[in-house]
């Protein structure tokens, strides 16, 4: 509201003429619009502040959900699939159980474990029969090393897949292009990949046997 008193003038009348009234009306309208704009701006700023707070709360909820999902996936991986500890003495868990007997009655457990370690180390590249024989059975004749390889491979496959009937049905140790491959999807978790990921984040750590993280020194 714009309140005006009588004119301070020497004129015969103190009333505002038409031109003055039009000017005052224009001025009051301008002031009203300015005040209304200022109020709208304040309301807009308040709405933006509220929207920012809601956005931050939503982002926090999304981060919490992502952490819960990751934790659930890690818990599921602990009892599903193969977990490999390769930083130090080899330790492999299959469906939550530690593998202690790798070979069967006719295959040495150490040779079967060595064959798994070789396949694990060559993930993405695979190995040939001759490469495995040269590393695991360097002192045997070619024919005996060949027999030992296939016997050990069959035992290893049955260890990883107890219900397996034929080697070509294996879903964990595959054979194609004259090479044997450890299927990457069967590895649910391994400490080497965890270590590399932590190092890339700039926070290297190692995973202890009780699944806790500790900083490297």
168: CATH: 1.10.10.10
212 within a domain of the structure (yes/no): no
Q: What pLDDT shows up at residue 17?
A: 80
Q: What pLDDT shows up at residue 72?
A: 62
17 within a domain of the structure (yes/no): no
Q: In terms of pTM, does the model score above 0.85?
A: no
Coil/strand/helix, residue 202: coil
25 pLDDT more than 60: yes
Tokens at 25, concatenated: 């009306």
Q: What is the mean pLDDT of the chain?
A: 83
186 within a domain of the structure (yes/no): yes
Question: What are the helix (H) ranges across 79-141?
Answer: 109-121, 129-136
110 within a domain of the structure (yes/no): yes
List residues bridging with 187 in a β-sheet: 82
| 103 vs 136 pLDDT, higher one | 136
Q: What average pLDDT does this structure show over 171-186?
A: 92
How many domains would you assign to the chain?
Answer: 1
58 within a domain of the structure (yes/no): no
**Residue pair 101/160 in contact by the 8 Å Cβ criterion:** no
Report the 3 state secondary structure along 167-190.
Answer: HHHCCCEEEECCEEEECHHHEEEE
Q: What pLDDT shows up at residue 217?
A: 42
Q: What pLDDT shows up at residue 203?
A: 66
Q: What average pLDDT does this structure show over 131-156?
A: 93
Q: What pLDDT shows up at residue 157?
A: 92
- Measured distance CA(107)–CA(129) in Å, rounded: 16
96 within a domain of the structure (yes/no): yes
Tokens at 41, concatenated: 């701006």
169 pLDDT more than 60: yes
181 within a domain of the structure (yes/no): yes
101 pLDDT more than 80: yes
- Measured distance CA(153)–CA(119) in Å, rounded: 11
Under the banding of pLDDT at 50, 70 and 90, the label for residue 138 is very high
33 pLDDT more than 80: yes
- Measured distance CA(96)–CA(74) in Å, rounded: 12
Q: What pLDDT shows up at residue 116?
A: 95
Under the banding of pLDDT at 50, 70 and 90, the label for residue 93 is very high
- Measured distance CA(133)–CA(183) in Å, rounded: 21
Coil/strand/helix, residue 122: coil
Q: What pLDDT shows up at residue 104?
A: 66
Which residues span the domain enclosing 139?
79-207
189 within a domain of the structure (yes/no): yes
């Amino acid at each position: 509201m714009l309140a005006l008193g009588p004119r301070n003038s020497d004129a015969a009348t103190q009333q505002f003429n038409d031109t003055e009234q039009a000017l005052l009306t224009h001025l009051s309208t301008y002031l009203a619009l300015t005040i209304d704009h200022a109020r709208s701006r304040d309301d807009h700023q308040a709405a933006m502040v509220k929207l920012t707070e809601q956005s931050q709360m939503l982002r926090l909820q999304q981060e919490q959900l992502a952490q819960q999902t990751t934790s659930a996936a890690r818990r599921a991986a602990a009892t599903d699939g193969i977990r490999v500890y390769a930083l130090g003495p080899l330790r492999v868990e299959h469906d939550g159980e530690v593998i202690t007997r790798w070979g069967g009655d006719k295959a040495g457990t150490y040779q079967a474990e060595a064959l798994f370690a070789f396949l694990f180390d060559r993930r993405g590249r695979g190995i040939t029969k001759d490469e495995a024989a040269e590393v695991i059975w360097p002192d045997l004749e070619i024919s005996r090393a060949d027999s030992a390889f296939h016997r050990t491979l069959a035992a290893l496959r049955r260890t990883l897949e107890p219900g397996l009937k034929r080697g070509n049905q294996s879903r964990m140790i595959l054979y194609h292009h004259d090479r044997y491959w450890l299927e990457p999807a069967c590895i649910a978790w391994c400490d080497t990949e965890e270590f590399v990921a932590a190092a890339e984040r700039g926070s290297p750590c190692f995973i202890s046997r009780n699944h806790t993280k500790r900083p490297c020194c």
